[in-house]
Chains A and B, each alone.
Chain A
Amino acid sequence: GDSVTQMEGPVTLSEEAFLTINCTYTATGYPSLFWYVQYPGEGLQLLLKATKADDKGSNKGFEATYRKETTSFHLEKGSVQVSDSAVYFCALRPNNAGNMLTFGGGTRLMVKP
């Protein structure tokens, strides 16, 4: 079945450091890929998405590129802020299943001033 694997956290960075959170997936065909962010005590917010190979999703300084050849969708940000501290979830939605989301295990990011 479909699956999403994320690097285990926590990831601890200093403010203004470069961020990479790895995400790889297993799925047939061309799924849509997503990154969600969850701030403490809150639900998930859609951060960015990509629906086809080589698409780059971007939002709030974060970006991720859909790499079909490596089945990856790594999240990057050039300069993190303390306010970026949260849990980040990578997810996929198969092309033939309009609703179903499969989530990775989540990666906690802690940014220190």
Chain B
Amino acid sequence: GAVVSQHPSRVICKSGTSVKIECRSLDFQATTMFWYRQFPKQSLMLMATSNEGSKATYEQGVEKDKFLINHASLTLSTLTVTSAHPEDSSFYICSAKGGIVNEQYFGPGTRLTVT
């Protein structure tokens, strides 16, 4: 149990375009979802925390107008990188928890490359 999926697993987009990443909890209701960013050979950095039906809480230094997070249902959260630039290229990982799932379970990650 406690499976979290992400889609797509890899995406390449051109500079200036927007890209949406989906995070789904497959077998539980995720009242809280988290978005992390991971640079090569580095640890995870929490970008934002979202609770279902409310606005996301962003960590210091994360531009909320650039990284739009929507958590409209108990099984789906989306991260939209707007007007992407090459420096946004990274590995984005989501996690989810909720209900009887007391710990964060992580998705497989999405590798974004902006050319």
Contacts and interface: CB of A to CB of B under 8 A. Distances in A.
Interface of A: 34, 36, 41-46, 49, 89, 99-101, 103-106, 108
* Interface of chain B, main secondary structure: strand
A30 B108 CA distance: 30
Interface residues of B, number: 21
Interface stretch (B11-19, B38-46, B64-72, B74-82): B38-46
B106 A44 contact: yes
Contacts, number: 44
Given A105-B42, A108-B41, 16 more contacts: A36-B106, A41-B109, A41-B111, A42-B109, A43-B108, A44-B95, A45-B106, A46-B104, A46-B105, A89-B43, A89-B44, A99-B32, A99-B34, A99-B49, A99-B97, A106-B43
Given A99-B49, A99-B97, A43 B43 contact: no
A91 to B, nearest CB: 9
B108 A42 contact: yes
